[in-house]
Amino acid sequence: MIRMEKLNKFYGSFHAVKDLTLNVPRGEVFCFLGPNGAGKTTTLKMLTGLLRPSSGRAWIGGIDVVENPLEAKKRMAYIPDTPFLYDRLTATEFFTFIGTLYGLSRETIDEEFERSFSFFGLLEHRASLVKDLSHGLRQRLVYAASFLHKPDVLFIDEPLIGLDPHTIRAIKSLLREKAKAGMTIFLTTHILSLAEDVADRIGIILNGKLIALGTLDEIKSTSGTSGDLEEVFLELTENGAP
Ligand code: ATP
């Protein structure tokens, strides 16, 4: 469902992502890990059409993200670590606006509104202006809006930042549930316990290069460390981390 072939990104002469080749099948939760500055966000931005790769290609559901960006975007949702929201809209207006952008009917938006606002505990905040919502509530609104057009692929940069433990638990089970229903989820995180809890497979990137790929057990066994993911991660990335 997500395919990358020899993806590269240069910022000037700086080589931020190096020959990244990776496939993520339908229904997989893939966690992309790496130290600060490793190239995770750059990769996400190339996959979501926000950055043009310097070379290489990427496809979402077989659609080339550079050649056919609109079609690719219809099939995906992207939750950045600091999403942009329209402050002067109410939570309901924001949700409706996003649905309209995706060309959904009023009926579909209203139906999804009830389900989604109830799930994310947003019903009592429906009339609040986005600018008056707390960070966590804004994040919940972004989640709600991201699922609205039923994307095949969900990209999330740091999914749990600023969320309370109840919401974290709800998001984790939601991600597993969505993947079970066929959604492909590609996320980056520094919270290694999240990867342990939800990932089908993990990729570790260091200085722009993929240095480990596999299930948690596979990564543990190739690293030669018997500890948890944190220990394995620290061992694998110690030479490239600050
Ligand atoms: P973090 O965990 O800190 O968010 P990351 O793995 O997401 O890091 P990226 O944001 O992809 O890392 O950055 C990869 C490298 O590219 C870093 O060295 C960063 O400084 C550099 N970089 C990112 N964006 C730009 C840019 N617009 N211009 C120049 N260099 C950039």
- pTM for the model stands at 0.92
Query: CA 148, 150, 152, 157: dihedral to nearest 10 degrees?
Result: 20
Rounded to whole angstroms, what are the CA distances from 63 to 47, 57, 73, 186?
11, 10, 10, 17
Residue positions counted in the chain: 242
How close is the Cα of 242 to the center of ligand 1, in Å? 14
> At 25, which CATH number?
3.40.50.300
Would you tell me how many other CB atoms lie within 10 Å of the CB of residue 136?
Answer: 16
- Answer whether 66's CB lies under 8 Å from 58's CB: yes
How close is the Cα of 11 to the center of ligand 1, in Å? 9
Q: What is the pLDDT of residue 71?
A: 93
Mutate to test the pocket of ligand 1, among 10, 13, 31, 42 (most ligand atoms within 8 A of CB): 42
Q: What is the pLDDT of residue 136?
A: 87
Rounded to whole angstroms, what are the CA distances from 18 to 49, 70, 82, 133, 226?
18, 26, 25, 39, 29
Residues 6+ away with beta carbon under 8 Å from 124: none
Q: What is the pLDDT of residue 62?
A: 95
Q: For the chain, which residues score pLDDT lower than 70?
A: 239-242
**Atom number of ligand 1 nearest to Cα 44:** 11
Number of domains in the chain: 1
How close is the Cα of 32 to the center of ligand 1, in Å? 14
How close is the Cα of 184 to the center of ligand 1, in Å? 24
- Answer whether 159's CB lies under 8 Å from 189's CB: yes
Q: What is the pLDDT of residue 66?
A: 95
**Atom number of ligand 1 nearest to Cα 17:** 14
Residue 102 lies in a domain: no
How close is the Cα of 115 to the center of ligand 1, in Å? 37
Q: What is the pLDDT of residue 239?
A: 66
How close is the Cα of 158 to the center of ligand 1, in Å? 14
Residue 211 lies in a domain: yes
* CA-nearest residue, atom 15 of ligand 1: 37
How close is the Cα of 4 to the center of ligand 1, in Å? 19
- Answer whether 166's CB lies under 8 Å from 119's CB: no
- Answer whether 22's CB lies under 8 Å from 4's CB: yes
Rounded to whole angstroms, what are the CA distances from 6 to 10, 40, 148, 209?
13, 15, 32, 11
Residue 125 lies in a domain: no
* CA-nearest residue, atom 4 of ligand 1: 36
Residue 170 lies in a domain: no
110-119 long-range CB contacts below 8 Å, 24 or more apart? Answer: 112/147, 112/148, 116/144, 116/147, 116/148, 117/91, 117/92, 117/144, 119/144, 119/170, 119/174
Residue 200 lies in a domain: yes
Domain that holds residue 38: 1-75+152-161+179-242
Residue 227 lies in a domain: yes
**Atom number of ligand 1 nearest to Cα 39:** 11
Which residues approach ligand 1 with their CB closer than 6 A? 11, 14, 16, 34, 36-42
Q: What is the spatial distance between Cα 29 and Cα 51, in angstroms, rounded to a whole number?
A: 23
* CA atoms within 13 Å, Cβ hemisphere of 67: 8
Residue 144 lies in a domain: no
Residue 1 lies in a domain: yes
* CA-nearest residue, atom 23 of ligand 1: 42
Q: What is the pLDDT of residue 240?
A: 57
